Structures are given as structure tokens and as C-alpha cells.
A and B are shown apart, each in its own frame.
Chain A
Amino acid sequence: MKIYKVKVNGKVYEVELEAVDEVKGSVEAKTVSEEAPAKEAASEGANQILAPIAGKVLDIKVKPGEMVRKGQTVAIIEAMKLENEIQSAYSGKVKEVVVSEGADVRNKDVLIVLE
């Protein structure tokens, strides 16, 4: 009996395989460990507010030390004259404002870090 780790759709399973003489065999797999979704795996990733599109930062509405509620608009990014309100997916205190007004950002660039 050998144990293999198999990753399926981002989840890791331990699979026990037993060699059998017949062509058809059976495999029993159980979920032993799972890799967390990418955004929760790294502690720093969960507290970052990222740019959802590439564009120019029109407005940063928070400062370091401020408390932010989940759903609060924290920045506005403009692209092709679409003004995009960035709402925080988390509640927390602003640790760092990484970008400034007028900065060009790419998709997934870090805008703001919460504690």
C-alpha cells in the first residue's frame, strides 16, 4: 500500500493505492489536508486591498490609523473614463496606504494594507 498526495481543483488529498492483479482495482481517497484558497493562505494577503482593474488612482479616501468597515469605499480608480469605487472586503485599521493619488496601477496591485 502506497500513499500519494493528489491535488484536485486546488485541494490536496491523500490517496492510498494498492496494487492488484486484476485490471480493475479500487482506490480509496480521503481528504486529509486541504490547501486553503490562495487569498487566505498568506496572512498578509488577507489584509490587502487590491486593484481590481488597471487604471489611475483618482482618490484615496483613508489614512493610516483610520478604522475601515467592510463595504466602505476606500479608493477610486479610473480607467477609460470608468470611475471605479473600491470597497474594502474587510474591516480593520489602515496600516499602510501603498499608492498615492495620480499613480498608475495594474490589476491586483496592492492599494491599501489593513492590520
Chain B
Amino acid sequence: MREIYFESIDSTNTYLKQHYEELEDMCFVRTDYQSAGRGRKSRTWLAEKGESLLFSVLLKDEEVLKRYRELSVLSAYSVLEVLEGYGIGDLMIKWPNDVLVKERKICGILLEGISAESLRCIIIGIGLNVKQESFTGDYLNEPVSMRMILNEEIGMDALKDRIYQKLEDNIRKLKEGYDFYEEISAYDLLKGRKVKALVNDVFKEVSVIGMRSDYSLGIIDDGKELNIKTGEISFHV
């Protein structure tokens, strides 16, 4: 592992996007503070300095990049496994990559890729709420932190090492052909529920069948069965 640390930076994802060509596979960038942290579709991701674990991992292995459809969900599952190891229960994944505790968001993940004729790299950006007791910024679900649940100090270095190791192990298994579907489905928050779906800025109620074996999300909308594969639709419980 090659680790790069910044006390503060605009965005760890942006750093890897700008330098991916000269950096090695599984290189890891971490910071205590992001001045321009992002969620999907340019939503902001804000955290006070030192309160969140903020890091990004660079993937360049072609065999791993071929499995890009699974990487969103697998990233969330890797964080979830580590949080379970800290004794946090009631963990679920809101498709495809929000990690929630009792339906409150504790971890956000942004995957970005760069392509020129073919997919060159994928960057997994993780923001895990660790020490906060209050939150500012844009969010769709009411957030929670590890501190608020465990009521104890969390060592950031040990936490970072455990998440990185879990990611590395799971990505290696993915590359070897392992299918995580059965394990991850057990944490599918939306499965079997009626939820509000935000489609083109309009809320509508849909029934969720659950995550499919190809990692799309099966829903029933107006009596029609659909498989959702993009983030155009966001779901609210």
C-alpha cells in the first residue's frame, strides 16, 4: 500500500483523478479536512477537521475494473463489515452504497472513474462519520457518527487500517471471481419496502423488490417491473 496524507486538501478523489497515471494500484490518499468534498452530482460533503475519516483509494487493475458494476456496493459492504467489528449493530446498505445505522447515514461513498477509450481507473472515495456530534451540509438522510453510537473515542489510524485492509481483501476476492451477492443482500435496506423515489425532482412511491444478482435494484413502478442501474433515481425511506 502506498499512503499519501494531507492535513487538508480540496478533495482526495480529485487528487487521485489528477495523478492517477503516475500512482500505483491501491494507492490511498487520506486527509483530515476537505475544502471541496463532494457527493454525487456535485452535492457537497462537509466535515469539520479531524472528525471524519476521509480517504480515497485508486484502482487500476484491469481485472478489477471489469467488475465496476459491483464496486459501489462492495465498497459499502467493506465499510459495513469493519463497523460490525467495532460492535455497531443495525447496519444496513441503502442501495447501492450508503451505509446506515438504524436508517441514519454513517458513511457516504463516491465512486469516480476516468476513461479514455477504455476505463483507466476507478477511485473509491469514502467519508465516514467518526467523531461528530453535529452536522452541516447537504444530506438526504439524518446522519449519525461512530461516536454517537459507541460513546467512546475511536482511533483514526487503526480504523483507517482496518477499512483499507478489508477493501483490499474484498477486492482481491472479487478479482478471483468471488460473488458477494448473497452476503450483501442480507443487508439490503430497501428490499420488500414501499419507498419514495425521487425521479426528475418529483417524488413517487415505488415498491422495491430488492438488489438483483447483477447488483441492479429491482423495483415495481406503476405496475411495471424495472431494474435500476443508474443513480438517476434516489430512494428515501
Contact = CB atoms under 8 A, between A and B. Distances in A.
Interface string B145-157: 0000000000000
A52 B119 contact: yes
A93 to B, nearest CB: 18
Contacts of A55: 229-230
A80 B71 CA distance: 9
- Interface extent on B, as a size class? 20 to 34
Contact of B96 (A50, A81, A83, A86): A81
B114 interface: yes
A29 interface: no
B148 to A, nearest CB: 26
Contacts of A52: 115, 117-119
Q: Secondary structure at chain A's binding surface: helix, strand, loop or mixed?
A: strand
Contact of A82 (B17, B116, B117, B122): B122
Interface string A88-105: 110000000000001010
Contact of A71 (B41, B73, B116): B116
Interface stretch (B3-11, B105-113, B127-135, B177-185): B105-113
Interface residues of A, number: 23
A78 interface: yes
B68 interface: yes
A85 interface: yes
Given A53-B68, A53-B119, A81-B40, A87 B114 contact: yes
Contacts of B110: 83
Given A55-B229, A55-B230, A56-B232, A84 B215 contact: no
A6 B119 CA distance: 33
A80 B113 contact: no
Contact of B68 (A56, A80, A102): A80
In the complex, the 3 A-B pairs of residues with the closest C-beta atoms, listed nearest first: A84-B113, A52-B115, A82-B111
13 contacts: A50-B117, A53-B68, A53-B115, A78-B232, A80-B215, A80-B229, A80-B230, A80-B231, A81-B72, A82-B111, A82-B112, A83-B113, A85-B114
Interface of B: 17, 40-41, 68-73, 96-97, 110-119, 122, 215-216, 229-232
